[in-house]
């Protein structure tokens, strides 16, 4: 439908996993234009719009300068439309059932629903479909939790007391990832692990990514250690201000958003660490960060070393809350 509206001559589905399954499904269809499955490299930035267009055009899966925008730059001289598959799925359902049906879920300001990936300690990772406006407390069990990560690794940490009052909101949902942090875990330790991963996943094409993110990640790792520290939150805050709004993509901006929220949400932990102790009783890893780097590739103030070896993601169980209006497939 989107291709027809644009007069497009071809379509691409870009995925890291499940390419063979998609190719088999496409073989059963009778689409009016050729649809190609593109296998993306397993990199955090491979799905960024300009990186995706560059890769489909035969280049590396790395972001390019935002001017001119990708819609004008083109794939093989043709202007592309880049859309998340979830958006296209909503369009198909609206075409099938109508706008009034779509607006029956959600709120007047934000109609419809979204797919949310839920990370809860001791449970399988789940993907559920939830209407906008649903309280976060109905999606995640918030008892005995200290904070909620909203929007994934480019999102924000929110204290549980505040998260319990918030609805599912498109402006903050980001990648659709919601993770609950138990009270016995250290939010600084979890954030430091994520920052190390994000620094190593940068494109390494500009100063903010190549130098700023590794420096911030290394400094935050120091804050995450319960001992008297030379690095202060003021140092990191100053570095984030110097890094924000620069570069070819928004990877530094998303990372800085996570950093700033952690400095605000985990202030008690920061004070405790500065005095040589940690309030957490369990410092084992919680958030799923791919172990894609060895100690020799740790972020440093001299820049990041990149690694493309990432193991397969753990299986995800699909389900949905009672409010969902159609069936979510039982397998990806």
Choice among 109-118, 259-268, 274-283 with the minimum mean pLDDT: 274-283
Buried b (16+ CB within 10 A) or exposed e, 142-171: beebbbbbbbbbbbbbbbbeebbeeebbbe
Choice among 174-183, 283-292, 310-319 with the minimum mean pLDDT: 310-319
Residue 228's pLDDT band (cuts 50, 70, 90): confident
Whether the pLDDT of residue 145 is over 80: the answer is yes
Whether the pLDDT of residue 325 is over 70: the answer is no
Find how far residue 209's CA is from the centre of its chain.
17
Whether the pLDDT of residue 234 is over 90: the answer is no
Residue 225's pLDDT band (cuts 50, 70, 90): confident
What whole-number percentage of the chain has pLDDT above 90? 43
The pTM of the full predicted model, rounded to 2 decimals, is 0.81
- Rounded CA gap, 27 and 76, in Å? 25
- Kindly state the tokens that stand for 315: 């299986």
- Rounded CA gap, 10 and 145, in Å? 47
Q: What is the mean predicted confidence (pLDDT) over 218-242?
A: 79
Residue 229's pLDDT band (cuts 50, 70, 90): low
- Kindly state the tokens that stand for 67: 């001017």
Whether the pLDDT of residue 259 is over 70: the answer is yes
* Mean of the per-residue pLDDT values of the chain: 82
- Rounded CA gap, 133 and 107, in Å? 6
* pLDDT value for 132: 96
Q: Which helix (H) or strand (E) holds 91?
A: helix 85-97
- Rounded CA gap, 117 and 175, in Å? 9
- Rounded CA gap, 71 and 73, in Å? 6
Q: What is the mean predicted confidence (pLDDT) over 14-22?
A: 88
Whether the pLDDT of residue 267 is over 80: the answer is yes
* pLDDT value for 153: 93
Q: What is the mean predicted confidence (pLDDT) over 153-178?
A: 94
- Kindly state the tokens that stand for 149: 């990560």
* pLDDT value for 331: 35
Choice among 74-78, 138-142, 197-201, 211-215 with the minimum mean pLDDT: 74-78
Residue 114's pLDDT band (cuts 50, 70, 90): very high
Residue 78's pLDDT band (cuts 50, 70, 90): confident
| Residue tagged 């008297």 (tokens) | 228
Whether the pLDDT of residue 118 is over 80: the answer is yes
Residue, of 301 and 130, whose pLDDT is higher: 130
> Do 128 and 118 form a contact (C-beta atoms < 8 A)?
yes
């Amino acid at each position: 439908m989107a291709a027809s509206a644009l007069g497009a001559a071809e379509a691409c589905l870009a995925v890291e996993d499940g390419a063979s399954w998609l190719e088999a499904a496409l073989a059963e269809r009778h689409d009016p234009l050729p649809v190609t499955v593109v296998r993306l490299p397993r990199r955090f930035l491979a799905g960024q719009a300009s990186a995706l267009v560059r890769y489909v055009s035969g280049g590396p899966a790395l972001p390019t300068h935002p001017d001119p925008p990708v819609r004008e730059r083109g794939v093989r001289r043709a202007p592309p439309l880049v859309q998340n598959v979830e958006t296209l799925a909503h369009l198909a359902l609206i075409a099938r059932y109508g706008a009034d049906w779509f607006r029956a879920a959600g709120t007047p300001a934000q109609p419809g629903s979204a797919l949310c990936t839920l990370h809860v300690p001791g449970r399988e990772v789940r993907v559920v479909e939830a209407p906008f406006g649903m309280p976060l407390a109905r999606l995640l069990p918030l008892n005995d939790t200290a904070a909620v990560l909203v929007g994934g690794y480019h999102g924000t940490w929110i204290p549980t007391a505040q998260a319990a009052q918030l609805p599912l909101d498109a402006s903050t949902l980001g990648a659709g990832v919601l993770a609950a942090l138990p009270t016995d875990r250290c939010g600084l330790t979890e954030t430091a692990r994520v920052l190390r991963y994000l620094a190593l996943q940068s494109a390494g094409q500009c100063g903010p990514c190549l130098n700023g993110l590794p420096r911030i990640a290394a400094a935050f790792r120091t804050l995450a250690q319960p001992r008297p520290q030379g690095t202060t939150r003021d140092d990191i805050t100053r570095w984030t201000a110097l890094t924000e709004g620069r570069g070819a993509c928004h990877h530094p901006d998303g990372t800085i958003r996570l950093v700033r929220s952690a400095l605000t949400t985990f202030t008690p932990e920061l004070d405790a660490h500065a005095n040589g102790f940690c309030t957490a009783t369990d410092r084992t890893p919680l958030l799923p960060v791919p172990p894609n780097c060895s100690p020799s590739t740790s972020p440093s103030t001299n820049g990041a070393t990149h690694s493309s070896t990432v193991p397969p993601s753990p299986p995800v169980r699909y389900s949905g809350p009672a409010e969902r209006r159609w069936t979510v497939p039982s397998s990806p």
